[in-house]
Each structure stands twice: as structure tokens, then as C-alpha cells.
Structure 1
Amino acid sequence: MSVEAQEADQALDVDLVFTMADLRDVVPHDNDPVVISVVTAGRKVHCVLVDQGSSTDVMFWTTFNKLQLSPDQLRPYTGCLYGFAGDQVEVRGHLELKTTFTDGAASRIENIRYLVVNAPSPYNILLGRPTLNRLRAVASTRHMKMKLPDLGGKVITIKLDQKEAKRCYENSLKTKRGVFMVTTRAPSEEEVVSTEITRERRPELAGEVLEREIGGKTFKLGKSLGQAAQNQIAEVITRNLDAFTWSASDMPGIDPDFLCDRLTMDPKVRHVY
């Protein structure tokens, strides 16, 4: 390690202490999360969750688009990402962005590698353990602050916006869409090679059926239905014929992300045909 690197490392080795003075501007709360703001890609980003349970730093796809970043900046990611419930999360790729942490008096800029994921969340970014450890940052939920050293040995104290933190937390509870812990691991053998596909059984018609043309379309009705019941069903279908779809052209405005599958491929890996 060079002399300059040793001096920089020593500058980061400062005591980060929370005192009673840090509680003076804190509104009493029960479980508000640590939510801060950072500057990245030339914009101030709010609703950044300091998530010590996350093994990686995450930027959500909606945030990526709001920052007007180009998909060409994304590099392939070959691992697997899992949410709190163990479900796999779609990863669009990863990229590095200079990110600024500041309290107005002092600041620090770090290159952060974000995994960009396509998953709903009330937060814009999750700051996980990799960045927190590199920053040597300490967050306190009681004091509603995060402290970290700058490169000159000063302590940066980032205060939380409690109203914003509470809003984000309540939104995550209402929608049940928050991703609070993310873990990364290599895919298991069962996930890589699937030998069995389980399909959900669809409802089946009971008994014999007859075909009846309603509104220019052919429907199947049970023969066991009386003529009055058949006419009643036909009347309901006629009134709501626009609720049925017969081709993709009948479903305009559907988000392609809902219908399209994507494979994240590493260009350095040779394909097997």
C-alpha cells in the first residue's frame, strides 16, 4: 500500500459517535426506517433506503428510467437475486455511478455498483452492506441519522426526513411491494436444469357442450342448461362482449414487460446450441 493510500485510509478511521444532541430534532417514532437522499447521475434522489439486510446495492428500474439513463450503460449480471420472501427478482444488469453523500458542510463521492432490478418498490435505491462497509458508515434508527467520515477526517452527518421515511414505510405496508432484504447467490442445480414443468390445471366443462354464436363469436355452453338459462347467458355475453379478447390486437396498451421474458447473457460466455 502506498503512503497516499495509507494516509487516506487513516483519514477514514475516525470515531462515529451518536449523542443525546443527535436526538434533539428527532420526532418520537416506533420503527421508521433509515431513508436518506443522495446525488447520483447529476440528480438528487430521495427515498434511498439504508438496508443493512441487503447483500448488494440496488437501483430499481423505475428510478433508472427517471434518471434518464441508457440501457446501453448496463452490463450483464450472471448471478441470481432473491427478495425477502425468497422469490427471484429480474435483474436488468449492473452499472457504476458516482454517488455523493453530503450534509451540506462536507461531502464524499464514491463509485457505487448498482444492480438494476425490475421489481416494484416504494424506494428508489437500496444501499446495502457493500457500500455501507466501504463508506464505513453507521446508521442509527433511534437518532434518525447516518454518519460517515469524509476523506479529510471530518464526520458527515446525514439527517433523515422523517415524514418521507414514514411515507415510504407506510406505502410498503399498504402495497406489500417493498423489497427489504436482497441476497445474491448462484443458481441451484434445480433452477438451472428443470426436468419437470408443473402446469396449473384449467377449469374444464362438465358434460356435453353445444356451440352457439353470440355477437359473431362462437361460445360453448353446457347442454344441461335449459333454454332460458342459455338465453340469459347469451344476453350477458352480448352486453359485455368488449370484455373478451380474441387476439393481441384486442389488448392495446399492455406493458411489454408484463408479456416479455428476458435472458441476461454474459457476452464473454460462449453459447451452446
Structure 2
Amino acid sequence: MIIRVEIANHDVGRVLIDNGSSVNIIFDDAFKDMGIVDSHINRQITPLLSLSGDLVQPVGSVSLPIAFGVAHRKTMIYDKFLIIYCPTAYNVIVGRTALTGIKAHKSPHMLLMKFPTCNGTGGIRGDQLSAQTCYATALKSVACKPPMEAMFVQELPNGSGPINDPREETPTPLAQLTEEMEKIMLNEEHPDRCVKIGTTLNPHLRMQFIDFLRHHAEVFTWSYDDMPGISPEVISHKLSISPAYKPIKQKCRSYDAERYEALHTEVDKLKAIGFIREATYPVWLANSVMVRKAKGGW
């Protein structure tokens, strides 16, 4: 939601209302245009953690008056703003501290934010055109700039020099991050039962890993027979159906010969190992749904 507010007697547009931000942010270009003297800036400020997990070092912080609303239904508070040097489509981001201070209630659907004032409920509407413009500008910035540009070089606490700028690092192509795999047979009696491991392991570790997999081959399942199930004394499942709803039997659906054959084959497998049993007089009934597999079969 993009609005216009009055900050330090300046009419400021492109102000983003962000409930997810724990701080108020004013960007360096907008702060300089206000002409506020540098003596009001508090330089002792800790780094800011962005949503992407990057550490951003603010220029400083400053307490400014911010007013919402128009005419007689206006409310104003003093709140702290972090000054951030970062190219962006917005001038200011108003976070939870200011919104809580004015007891604001936002309706994104109506593009409306309301708040109590001395003369009744005040309101301010979002600027949809500005929101679209900011969104388009943000997309262009992402397309033209490296993903780590928001991070800055910071001095180490012990004065040993600057932290390496991640923008100077050469990104690794995605193709190099994909490791080739090789198939390993777990049991010579069943050559079709294979698992895949990476090819970059050193020979000694590779042999240890293969021996480990073959020693614990029983943890892999290749058919229904390898899954004997869990005793109902340990855990059981139950359909929680409201007694207020009447059970319904669906009309029996007809299938073609291929689906019937696949259906019977699957049911026979489940019955043979005791996964399912026949219910002679069900109080409710739903048709089975047959879905074609990507590699064939049902």
C-alpha cells in the first residue's frame, strides 16, 4: 500500500506501508532532499538484517515527526527512522512501530488505512498508480543489478580492514553446481534395486558409503511386501466425520478394460499383504480415482 504522508513538514510521496517491517526506514536520497542538518543524525546504529538475510549498515537514525491524514482528522507522532543508502523505488517505509503508535487499521482490499483522531476516525487511501509505478521500477532494478548489491563493505571491529565485497565474487554457473550421479546396486540377487550417489566422492569415502548402504539395504522399500505395516496398538488412523452429516454412497463409476485391470492388480497386492480388507456392507462408498503415471501405468 503506497500513500502520501507529511514528514518534518515535507509532503512525501511513494511511502510504503509495511506491516512486516519492524523499523521505519527513510532512504538517503529522500532524506537529503528534506535538507535536515547532519547534527540530528545518530551515527551509533547496529546493522540491519534484511528479508533476504543480508546485513545492511544504516547511515544512521533520526527522530522525525510523521503526520497521517488530512484537514481536521489528522494524527501525528514522533518516531525513529533508519537512514539507508540503497537504490529503491520508495522514499520511505513505514513499519510496525509507527502503525502501532497511531493505532492504525489497514484494509488492503479497500486500499484504505484508518486511525483514531481527536475529531473522529481519520483515513488515508492508497495510491494505486504510484504502487504500479514503484512495482515496475523495482522489477527493472532487479533485472539490471546483481542480487547482492544491497550489501555494503563494512569495517571489521578490530580495524583489520574491510569485509570482502560479495559483488566482487564471481557467481558459480548453475551447471557446475549440479553433480553427476552414478547407480549403485545394493544386492546382486536383485540387480534392479539400485540407488544413486554422487561421483565427486574420493575413492576411500565412496567405498565406505557403498558398504554402509548395502549393510542397511533393508531400510529401502521396493514393493508393498517390504512395508509390513504398523500394529494398530502403536498407531491407527480414523476418519473424523461429523455425525450431523448423512453418509453418501457415490454412484458406481465404470472404467475401461485397462483401468479395470490396473485396479484389480493394485487391490490384489494390497489385500495379499493385509493393507486393506473387504467391507461387505459399507455405510459410505467413494469411487477409486485412476491417474495415469508419467512413465506409464496407473
Q: TM-score, normalised by structure 2?
A: 0.47
Deviation at 1:194, TM superposition (A): 11
> Aligned partners of 1:36, 1:144: CA distance in 2, in Å?
10
Please, what is the CA RMSD of the aligned residues?
2.7
2:108 aligned with 1:141, yes or no?
Answer: yes
User: What percent of counterpart residues are identical?
Assistant: 26
Deviation at 1:104, TM superposition (A): 3.4
- Please give the per-residue CA displacement for 1:65-104, whole angstroms capped at 9, x wherever unaligned: 1111122210123322022211122211111111111133
Deviation at 1:198, TM superposition (A): 6.8
Partner of 1:234: none
- Equivalent residue letter for 2:139: L
Q: Is the 8 A contact 2:26 2:82 kept in 1?
A: yes
SS in 2 for 1:52: coil
Partner of 2:226: none
Q: Is the 8 A contact 1:77 1:91 kept in 2?
A: no
* Bigger relative contact order, structure 1 or 2 (CA pairs below 8 A, ≥6 apart): 1
More moved, 69-78 vs 56-65: 69-78
> Aligned partners of 2:89, 2:49: CA distance in 1, in Å?
17
> Aligned partners of 2:87, 2:81: CA distance in 1, in Å?
16
2:137 aligned with 1:175, yes or no?
Answer: no
- Equivalent residue letter for 1:173: L
> Aligned partners of 1:198, 1:116: CA distance in 2, in Å?
23
> Aligned partners of 1:145, 1:103: CA distance in 2, in Å?
14
2:24 aligned with 1:57, yes or no?
Answer: yes
2:132 aligned with 1:166, yes or no?
Answer: yes
Partner of 1:265: none
Q: Is the 8 A contact 2:73 2:118 kept in 1?
A: no
Give the 5 Å matches for 1:162-241: 162-176=128-142
> Aligned partners of 1:119, 1:198: CA distance in 2, in Å?
18
Partner of 1:44: 11
- Equivalent residue letter for 1:151: C
Bigger CA radius of gyration: 2
> Aligned partners of 1:138, 1:57: CA distance in 2, in Å?
17
Q: 1:86 to 1:155 in 2, by over 3 A?
A: same
Deviation at 1:141, TM superposition (A): 1.4
SS in 2 for 1:142: coil
2:71 aligned with 1:104, yes or no?
Answer: yes
Q: Is the 8 A contact 2:17 2:94 kept in 1?
A: yes
> Aligned partners of 1:61, 1:131: CA distance in 2, in Å?
19
Deviation at 1:37, TM superposition (A): 0.6
> Aligned partners of 2:94, 2:49: CA distance in 1, in Å?
16
Q: 1:49 to 1:198 in 2, by over 3 A?
A: closer
- Equivalent residue letter for 1:76: R
Q: Is the 8 A contact 2:15 2:93 kept in 1?
A: yes
> Aligned partners of 1:156, 1:162: CA distance in 2, in Å?
20
Count of aligned pairs: 155
- Please give the per-residue CA displacement for 1:122-153, whole angstroms capped at 9, x wherever unaligned: 1000000111111111112110111111134x
> Please, which runs of 5 or more residues in structure 2 have no aligned partner?
144-155, 171-298
> Aligned partners of 2:164, 2:79: CA distance in 1, in Å?
40
Q: Is the 8 A contact 1:89 1:119 kept in 2?
A: no
Q: 1:87 to 1:195 in 2, by over 3 A?
A: same
> Aligned partners of 1:99, 1:131: CA distance in 2, in Å?
9
- Equivalent residue letter for 1:160: G
SS in 1 for 2:82: strand
- Equivalent residue letter for 1:118: Y
**Among 72, 89, 97, the residue aligned to 2:56:** 89
> Aligned partners of 1:55, 1:201: CA distance in 2, in Å?
31
- Equivalent residue letter for 2:142: K
2:33 aligned with 1:71, yes or no?
Answer: no
SS in 2 for 1:176: helix
- Equivalent residue letter for 2:136: E
SS in 2 for 1:91: coil
Q: Is the 8 A contact 2:45 2:61 kept in 1?
A: no
Q: 1:138 to 1:35 in 2, by over 3 A?
A: same
> Aligned partners of 1:198, 1:120: CA distance in 2, in Å?
21
